[in-house]
Structure 1
């Protein structure tokens, strides 16, 4: 089943990316990465740079799955606020996880600096807006916790927002140290660099079967076979491909558009990334060539829409939402798409080794921060393979218990905000 429907912007920015052969015959490696998207590419690069003999296989082409539909907003704040996450997993663990996310953004920046191609990576600030007066108190608690633990957030009241933008909101948090990128170019450039570092990459090589155990995995893939000591499942929003019952993922669909290049973006203060407290929420960014990329309108359905008319209805709503924020602009959509995305019940990714299947690792960055989670996964898995422990590993481990009460409360908050 396709993960998206519509016309996608990012492939137009690199029409002829590098291509890789299909597997035919046999190969042998210490770590086999299954999946050539954001998480798989980051894992492959870090393993190769760490001197770990690794292979990456992709059933289609590199960056052909959800990476195509990624809108390229890179933020350390999560869909679940730090203050709400603290209620769920404890203050210490929540702060540790948020700090890991913030450090992952800087790690992505360092990777981007080492790539031989421009991937549109720029550090940005984010404006997290209260969607209504009812959200201000919770937003203020979030700011106070971010401030108390040294995240460097700022509190903007309605007057300050209005001084910097052509719209007004009751309040907002400004976070520093977020980023934007071209996710399609980034994934391709990461894989290209990893291949130079020794990663062997096979496209059009689907995983057909897995047998054996740690140190003796035998994987039938495409027209060949790979023997691996360890497996890394970076299979994106197809959790069934990981072959585990651990992942009770919620697969939804979301909508996005990219406008034609615009003049007059001077009203967009410092090209901030924009998002809001409502669930589902509107989010928006700009691009190097003066476009607006906006998304939202999430729906609890896995399959993307299947008709242009359905898609256009949502695109017009996104256009209207942007028009209300920036009445001086006339955003004209040039690209529009609907895509699948995944969430976990506790709003955390599944990263690390499966204790019931030694040697089997997961890099499943479910949630609104998939790129950030991919960077965390790469370091966590690399550390495990070289015998080091990541302090965040217990928080995101695949077999972690998900407190029913906490998950239900989080879901209730989302439903209340979305009106469902």
Structure 2
């Protein structure tokens, strides 16, 4: 239930509506279906490996990239989680501002202040229970907003047949590439799935983190979003989603937004604090309690809300998305090469690791090429295809790096004392 908090992000509604506006609803539905299959397959592999080893993204990245490379992975992960916390938090603030008025800055502060204590508890007790209670309320809210929008506006007659904007690529592929921009979900999966039991890995890979989860997360949210935005004829935007919910349900719509954003931000704040802790522990030797990093996460989110965040949010996420897609490709190659190594796990002890491994060079090289392709304007089609190109390049270059210097594996039966091995106690608790 703590993980399924991610299901209720308004971002999934926004992405689906934006895709439908760009390439049409039919193409979006095709791209969405292919995305569910792809995400389900990748996260089945990642979740099973995480449950088998118990590693976090930070600790697993030590094996892939060395100690310095793992710090970079933690920083990128934390920054992305904070950006999503800013986006989702801003939606709550805008909703309250639209409904009650007042200063938007006050609402930004309220959003952050109430989110911090919610993320202080552990995933396996407090966050699990909180999100278990809120999940059915969110689902009921989705049903209610569709019913209300239909009763008020009638069934939109043209929502399936919206005209697509011409592009150099097939519309369904463009939609698929849009969803590749949120491969950070793979990292989210890894940090939650590590707490799963190995005997449950089949269920974890299919339902909890697999295609069933993404059928609800992308499919259900996307269809609801496209439908209600079409009913109200509102263009895709941060405020547009808020307007559609409040116009349909009034105060109840506001409560649905509050519930959805409360759920997703428990995940954003938790993962941002975990990875800020990992980064600070490795780079600055700061072994502070996680609650400190939850507060830091809230402070950074509030400061970013004070800026014109949407003007650079998508650019920042595009750059970070390049690093993340490359990380996913490299992680899959490593797991594939070691899948038959039963009873073996990566050696993550600092004394046995390099600062920068050949894998880190492969990761940075592939990401640099991906960013360059994203920013160039001479070949727009190539820019659109950057996620696929980056993944293929990262996988190929890392395969060569792995053969050049394969990471060391040790027996999973070997006992390791985190205190003796500098294994960042905050991450190995």
TM tier relative to shorter chain: under 0.3
Q: Which has the larger share of strand?
A: 1
Provide the TM-score with structure 1 as the length reference: 0.27
Provide the TM-score with structure 2 as the length reference: 0.26
Q: Which has the larger share of helix?
A: 2
